[in-house]
Amino acid sequence: MAAIFAFTCSCCGKLHEGSPSFGFRAPDHYSSLSEEQKLEVGSLSNDFCTIGNGEGTDFFIRAFPEVPIHGIERPFLWGVWVSLSQKSFERYRETYNSQVEGEIFFGWVCNSIALYPHHSPRRADVVVKGDKCRPRIVLHRGDPNDDPLAIDQAHGISILRAQSLAERAMHHV
């Protein structure tokens, strides 16, 4: 297996090395709030987000669905936010500094990835990796099995597809 993913970008002509990784700074729910609402009902750090509302509080953590690249050691990563139940959020937060590797929580992906459009919310298992690494997301396969991100996660993508996705994400093509 190749040690590193590298390509010369057809958009900017630069050599990009290392498996691609793109992320969202906040869950879409938080990003859609006004600045005033963020101050009043929101809380956002690098790994945790909460949003209070009239019915309670929504809880989010940052995690990664990994998409294997055929022939490459490291996967393509999308840094997204996942909503968790209050119980799961509190458990994850309590064990954050001494993570329980392999612990699994159910969640919903809370970012819309333009390069992977999907018409319904994405259900996922959030798998704790340990060593203070952000958790891995394993997307649920739906009925019908039409989520392109879940398909790519399950089957992997070619080097050419990884390059195309990276170019489009970097240059908003």
Question: How is residue 126 written in tokens?
Answer: 């959030």
Length of the chain: 173
Q: Is residue 166 part of a domain?
A: no
DSSP-based three-state secondary structure for 32: coil
Give the model confidence (pLDDT) of 115-132 as tens digits: 998 877 899 999 999 877
Rounded Cα distance, 91 and 98, in Å: 11
Number of domains in the chain: 1
Please tell me which residue, 97 or 141, carries the higher pLDDT value: 97
Q: Is residue 115 part of a domain?
A: yes
- The larger pLDDT score, comparing residue 172 to residue 2, is at 172
With a pLDDT cut of 70, the percent of the chain lying above it is 96
pLDDT above 60 (res 143) = no
Burial 8-24 (b: 16+ CB within 10 A, else e): eeeeeeeeeeebbeeeb
Q: For residue 66, tell me if it sits in a domain.
A: yes
Residue 41 domain boundaries: 22-155
Taking the whole predicted model, whether its pTM rises above 0.85 is answered as yes
pLDDT of 141: 81
Q: Is residue 147 part of a domain?
A: yes
Report pLDDT for 172: 74
Residue 132 lies in a domain: yes
Is residue 134 one of the residues assigned to a domain?
yes
Q: Which of 14-18, 66-70, 105-109, 153-157 has the lowest mean pLDDT?
A: 14-18
* C-alpha pair distances (Å), 40 with each of 43, 108, 113, 160, 163: 9, 24, 27, 45, 41
Give Dmax over CA atoms of the chain in angstroms. Answer: 52
Task: Kindly state whether residue 61 falls inside one of the protein's structural domains.
Answer: yes
For residue 103, tell me if it sits in a domain: yes
